[in-house]
Amino acid sequence: MIPSRNPTPYSQGDNSATATRITPGNALRPEDIALAAAGGTAHPNQAVAEYALRLGDDALILAQRLGHWISRGPELEEDVALGNIALDQLGHARSFLTYAGAAWGRTEDDLAYFRREPEFRSAHLFEQPNGDFAATIARQFIAASYQYPLYRELGRSSDPMLAAIAAKAVKEVDYHLDHSTQWVLRLAGGTDESRRRMIAGLEAMWPFVGELFQDDPLTAQIGDAGVVPSSLRDEFERTTEAVLAHAGLDTPASPMATGGGRRGRHSEHMGYLLAEMQVLAREFPGASW
């Protein structure tokens, strides 16, 4: 049986002193963050800005990948579901990038559309091609199993803005994890072909797991404002192993990729993704509607 996740400590009914409550004051829109930055009340230090940039890049690149499924899903409900998950991720990206940009006088659009590939700090998992539907589900299952404990713990950040963004994001990622879990079970327990594709998708995406949990000087420097990636590994493994066992699947034994996305070293897929994502803004800089 798949163990249920503990309720997040961000609900209105949580009475713990350490809980970050979602209220109109801290469930901020990117526009609210930009106004706070302009007013001088939201100004992250360099380490916090770099950390927020990583989180924003992860979410932005994943949103771009998921958006490709709109009109291409295997059924209408999946067009809607994957589109909504992409919009959730885009919302997370906008908030994190707006906050990061406050340290450098740059907007979310500046960071999304006018950086070169080596300036992006997303992990390699998020830029992997969609492949077939099972491969996309495998990538999403890994991403959500990582982001859920990440945002839950980040909701306790000593940085109020990071905590507020994470407190909203964790509620949405809870759905993302449930959605991908149900599809892993459905594909693994369906036909021989759907099971074969689910196994192939997991084997293709699993080499990129290791990079998500690598500690580095930034995660050490940021202290209790952030989350130490390696501290999330045990929960990730418990979650994924329980789901895969329920599906009758083994955890892939794929060798881990070397990574490098946090240092701006990306796979061959990233350049094509950015070219498509950035072309309109670069062709018509400053355009609005």
Q: What is the secondary structure of 240-278 as a DSSP string?
A: HHHHHHHTT-PPP-PPPP---GGGT---THHHHHHHHHH
Tokens of 262: 């946090």
The pLDDT of residue 248 is above 90:
yes
Residues 6+ apart with CB under 8 A from 232: 146, 149, 150, 153, 212, 213
Q: How far apart are CA 207 and CA 259, in angstroms?
A: 9
Q: How far apart are CA 166 and CA 63, in angstroms?
A: 17
Nearest to 286 by CA among 112, 109, 116: 109
The pLDDT of residue 50 is above 60:
yes
123 secondary structure, DSSP code: -
Decide if 62 contacts 89 (C-beta within 8 A).
yes
The string of pLDDT tens digits covering residues 62-79 is 999 999 999 888 888 898
| Mean pLDDT, range 182-196, rounded to an integer | 98
Provide the angle, in degrees to the nearest 10, between the axes of the packed helices 46-67 and 133-154: 150
- Domain boundaries defined on the chain: 37-283
The pLDDT of residue 4 is above 70:
no
May I ask the CATH architecture of the domain 37-283? Up-down Bundle (1.20)
Within 13 Å and on the Cβ side, how many CA atoms surround 3?
11
The pLDDT of residue 19 is above 50:
no
Q: In 102-230, where does DSSP find H-type helix? A: 108-113, 124-127, 133-154, 160-188, 192-205, 209-212, 217-221
Q: How far apart are CA 98 and CA 162, in angstroms?
A: 11
Give the pLDDT confidence score for residue 7 in this predicted structure. 40
The string of pLDDT tens digits covering residues 29-39 is 888 888 888 88
Q: What is the model's pTM? A: 0.89
Run of H or E including 81 = helix 76-101
The string of pLDDT tens digits covering residues 90-136 is 999 999 999 999 999 999 999 999 999 999 999 999 999 999 999 99
Angle at 97 between CA 221 and CA 175, to 5 degrees: 95
Nearest to 23 by CA among 34, 13, 12, 8: 12
Backbone φ/ψ region at 230: left (φ over 0), alpha (ψ -120 to 50), beta: alpha
